[in-house]
Structure 1
Amino acid sequence: MDAPTRPTAPAGPRESAAARAAKRFIVGIAAIAALGGALFGYDTGVVSGALPFMEVHFGLSSLGEGLITSALLIGAAFGSLAGGRMADSLGRRDSLLWAGAVFIGGALAVALAPTVPFMAVARFVLGLAVGSASVITPLYLSEIAPPHIRGRLVSFNSLMIVSGQLLAYLINAVLAQWEAWRWMLGMAALPAVALFAGLFFLPDTPRWYISRGRPDDAARVLRRTLPAGEVAAELARIDRARNLEADARRSAWQELRTPWVRRLLLVGIGLAVVQQITGVNAVIYFAPKILASTGLGTSAAITATIAVGAVSVVATAIGMSLIDRVGRRPLLLTGLAGMTVSLALLGASFQLPRSTAVSVLVLALMVLYMGFMQGTLNTGVWLLLAEMFPLKVRGLAMGAAVFVMWLVNFAVALAFPLLLDAIGAGLTFWFFGVMCVLSLLFCKRYAPETKGLALEDLEQELRRAEP
């Protein structure tokens, strides 16, 4: 114990300087790592503006639109599985490096695609990076963040996702006047280069170092994120969890046979389905198409979509500020209730005759829906998936949950244009409203509360909570 040897030292200023250094370190990590989230957002959002011009250039049908949009998503599904395994074997940081390299190559290939099959394959490859980053980035941030700010730091990834989507909408609006859809798609290479370069300056997480028998590296990182007096206790907590797992001598797949772990995995998969089946990506991918169906022109519809992106960013920032104070479950339940009402009104608005006023009403209700969704459900689900699984299976379990998330995302993106043609926008949004009601019941029954607990303490709480 070194505290008694320094009773007269000016600890306050020294601790204040250390706290400021830790804050700068954590902010730097978040800014670089969350570029993966920004790329996730940009690559999923940019297609909304490029699609109307690709439809003319390639002569796409509604099925073709769905295929081009969803090719990235099926790639993301497999990328999420690979990302979970890579994160456990290569480490969180090195896995993000691989994703950054694929982001660069995939973005350039999509921008230069000469044919529809080439475009579909290129977007599939780009989806591999999107999916792996969607697993690894929140995992990395959750494991390197101190418990008292973990919710805000992991939610910063959600903020970067919607910021990437807003950036895509802004670039789409600027380039739409020249119909420069290839530039829209290719611009994703720039933040990908920044991610790839920035990662060389980041460490891996203490939990991964401990799992690989590198306690000195783990301590080095913890000394940069925690007060000096807490480092030893945090190392002991992480090491204790690792030793319990080593004593069990079971692989990650065998661990999933444990009833309480398997139940957590099923809840995580359910949360992943909830996030997608409630319709968010139908709005993100097809907002210009939805607005055009009310009578707006293509350029006006693309420009109007900026409002959706801007509100998503503001709502996510509000959700970040609330999630460590209010808790995860209250945000989920409040958000799903608001989404249900928004979708009911949105569906009803399509029963009105086409007019400029109806276009404005549809846009306002889409914005209201996205505000509830991004500020509550999107923020809460990504955070819970990063927190709720025990260390030994965290990468595998989160990868499985996100794999299902991307499969449902793929299904929604493929089916949405066909549903618009078959039953119309009104009934389609009412269907999503019904899904919100079912999701509310699921979250009320099964979603755990993880607020304020260290990950290792949380594991013990969830273990004890299992009947």
Structure 2
Amino acid sequence: MSSTKTSLVTIAAAFAGLLFGLDIGIISGALPFITQDWHITIHQQEWVVSTMMLGATLGSIANSWLSSRLGRKHSLLWGGALFAIGTVGCAVSVNINMMLVFRVIQGFSIGIASYAAPLYLSEMSDKAVRGKKIAMYQVMVNIGIVVAFLSDTFFSLFGNWRAMFAVLVIPAVILIFAVWFMPKSPRWLAAKGRSTEAKNILLSLRQTDREANQEYQDIMASLKVKEAGFDLFRGNKNFRRSVALGVALQFMQQFTGMNILMYYAPTIFKMAGFETHMEQMISTVFVGLAFVIVTTLVSRVTDTWGRKPALKIGFFIMGAGMFCLGGLLELIKHGHTAPLFGYLAVVMAIICIIGYAMSAAPMVWILCSEIQPLKGRDFGIACSTTMNWVSNMVLGATFLSLINGIGTGNTFWLYAALNIIFIVVTIIFVPETKGVELERIEANLMAGKRLRDLGDTDDGSMPITATITKTADHSA
């Protein structure tokens, strides 16, 4: 019973990722037709893409309050409702200004979902499969991207960008219906003083009463930390370290440059020599399919392979792929028009996405949901998710301008160099957290261990409850 219930919870929460993926994918196909219909400039195109990220940034900031006050479940419900409103608004927009307003509303809902869903999954999942459960969120993001690419390809036959947006109402309604029947997070309930409800939900989710009772005791011990949220951030240097790491991880995820391959895929493939919109969309679909397949495979080994090795390998693959893609596009730009170069550009884009799908795409969300202490989790994840969307917005709003300013090759080589730098940052600072209880990670953090050692479990440390209790009254 507990296994079935946990699986249903995972599917329902991860469905929020589908909305995220649909919104990423849909704009790449709709943008050329919006540009054609309204004759908008390059900067206006960038804002059609990036205003969604502006809204998501605002949603991430607001959700620190929403998730804490209303809970993870009700945050997801609000996210689904706002997504439906934003989607309908985009579909019926009559000018660019109206479109931008509803893109912000769409983004606000995505900011809520991208914050609440991984947080909810981390708090509901058993430590042995937590990575796999959170990775399901990223799998659903990628499925949404591919579904959007396929939908775009179909509606592009008619040039109907309004229909591309309108169909997104369906999954928004499904999300609202599915989340309605989900239980509330036991950690959120415990933090609100509803300990009996929290314990009962744990008993229904875990395989044995012993596991549920031990987890309940660890949660109650973590609540002995007196400060919370910003007060904890201001007063405790250890919490400041975990917030800084979460912010850095989300910055790294975005500045790999992979999302530009999603937002501007048809534009990039046009640079690669694919003239018709159908050719560009078919190439885009192949990229999306690679994203889904690799992320699905990686989600199965997340809790055995680990977070840190995947990040190091993935950053290397992305760096190499971006370097080669930039070189190919530069050759094509200077008159080397052999079809082989165009096909190789598609292959390099797919290699980049494979590197992203196996590493930064799922692992950063997993790590950011794991490394924050319970009393600071809402604040810490709000900070890291906000950085994700700010970075995302900067990328979306500058890509075409960078291409025009420093050139195609230099733009992609810049992202390649950043990926290599991220390998070094991962080695020095990122911990391995697979199979480690959230409360053990918190205990290591509050005990002052190095960030890369937050996942230590075999050093003879005192029990979690004792460690957290000992540090509960300390601030620096």
Q: Same fold (TM over 0.5)?
A: yes
Tell me how far apart the structure 1 counterparts of residues 27 and 91 of structure 2 sit (CA, whole Å): 11
8 Å contact kept, 2:229–2:378: no
Determine whether 1:162 maps to 2:151: no
Tell me how far apart the structure 2 counterparts of residues 105 and 356 of structure 1 sit (CA, whole Å): 43
Could you tell me which residue of structure 1 aligns to residue 127 of structure 2? 147
Could you tell me which residue of structure 1 aligns to residue 20 of structure 2? 40
What letter corresponds to residue 321 of structure 1 in structure 2?
Answer: R
Could you tell me which residue of structure 1 aligns to residue 239 of structure 2? 261
Could you tell me which residue of structure 2 aligns to residue 177 of structure 1? 157
Tell me how far apart the structure 1 counterparts of residues 23 and 245 of structure 2 sit (CA, whole Å): 28
- Over the matched positions of the two proteins, sequence identity in percent amounts to 29
Could you tell me which residue of structure 2 aligns to residue 362 of structure 1? 345
Q: Shift of residue 165 of structure 1?
A: 0.6
Q: Shift of residue 425 of structure 1?
A: 2.2
Q: Shift of residue 419 of structure 1?
A: 1.6
Q: Secondary structure at the match of 2:358?
A: helix
Could you tell me which residue of structure 1 aligns to residue 329 of structure 2? 350
Give the one of 186, 191, 200 matched to 1:211. 191
Determine whether 1:315 maps to 2:294: yes
8 Å contact kept, 1:350–1:425: yes
8 Å contact kept, 2:239–2:445: no
8 Å contact kept, 1:340–1:436: yes
8 Å contact kept, 2:67–2:378: yes
Tell me how far apart the structure 2 counterparts of residues 274 and 420 of structure 1 sit (CA, whole Å): 21
Q: Shift of residue 465 of structure 1?
A: 4.4
Tell me how far apart the structure 2 counterparts of residues 172 and 151 of structure 1 sit (CA, whole Å): 32
RMSD: 1.2
Tell me how far apart the structure 2 counterparts of residues 148 and 93 of structure 1 sit (CA, whole Å): 23
- Report Cα offsets for 1:222-247 as digits up to 9, x if no partner: 122212232211111111111x22xx
* TM-score using structure 2 length: 0.91
8 Å contact kept, 2:330–2:408: no
Tell me how far apart the structure 1 counterparts of residues 52 and 193 of structure 2 sit (CA, whole Å): 37
Could you tell me which residue of structure 2 aligns to residue 18 of structure 1? none
8 Å contact kept, 2:318–2:352: yes
Q: Shift of residue 428 of structure 1?
A: 1.0
Could you tell me which residue of structure 1 aligns to residue 82 of structure 2? 102
Q: Shift of residue 424 of structure 1?
A: 2.9
Alignment gaps of 5+ in structure 2: 451-476
Q: Shift of residue 422 of structure 1?
A: 2.5
8 Å contact kept, 1:327–1:449: yes
Alignment of 1:5-84 (within 5 A): 21-84=1-64
Alignment gaps of 5+ in structure 1: 1-20
Determine whether 1:230 maps to 2:230: no
What letter corresponds to residue 98 of structure 2 in structure 1?
Answer: F
- Report Cα offsets for 1:334-363 as digits up to 9, x if no partner: 110111111111111123212322221111
Tell me how far apart the structure 2 counterparts of residues 380 and 333 of structure 1 sit (CA, whole Å): 11
Give the one of 292, 302, 306 matched to 2:281. 302
Could you tell me which residue of structure 2 aligns to residue 128 of structure 1? 108
8 Å contact kept, 1:317–1:375: no
- Report Cα offsets for 1:33-90 as digits up to 9, x if no partner: 1111110111111100001101101112111110110010111011111122211111
8 Å contact kept, 1:342–1:368: yes
Tell me how far apart the structure 1 counterparts of residues 118 and 183 of structure 2 sit (CA, whole Å): 15
Tell me how far apart the structure 2 counterparts of residues 218 and 318 of structure 1 sit (CA, whole Å): 33
Could you tell me which residue of structure 2 aligns to residue 271 of structure 1? 249
Could you tell me which residue of structure 1 aligns to residue 306 of structure 2? 327
What letter corresponds to residue 162 of structure 1 in structure 2?
Answer: N
What letter corresponds to residue 318 of structure 1 in structure 2?
Answer: L
Tell me how far apart the structure 2 counterparts of residues 101 and 355 of structure 1 sit (CA, whole Å): 48
Determine whether 1:92 maps to 2:65: no
8 Å contact kept, 1:84–1:132: no
Count of residue correspondences: 443
What letter corresponds to residue 267 of structure 2 in structure 1?
Answer: K
8 Å contact kept, 2:258–2:356: yes
- Report Cα offsets for 1:409-428 as digits up to 9, x if no partner: 10110100112223332221
- Report Cα offsets for 1:194-240 as digits up to 9, x if no partner: 01111111111110111111122112211222122322111111111
Q: Shift of residue 367 of structure 1?
A: 0.4
Alignment of 1:327-406 (within 5 A): 327-352=306-331, 353-406=336-389
- Report Cα offsets for 1:136-191 as digits up to 9, x if no partner: 00000000011111010011001111111111111111111111111111211110
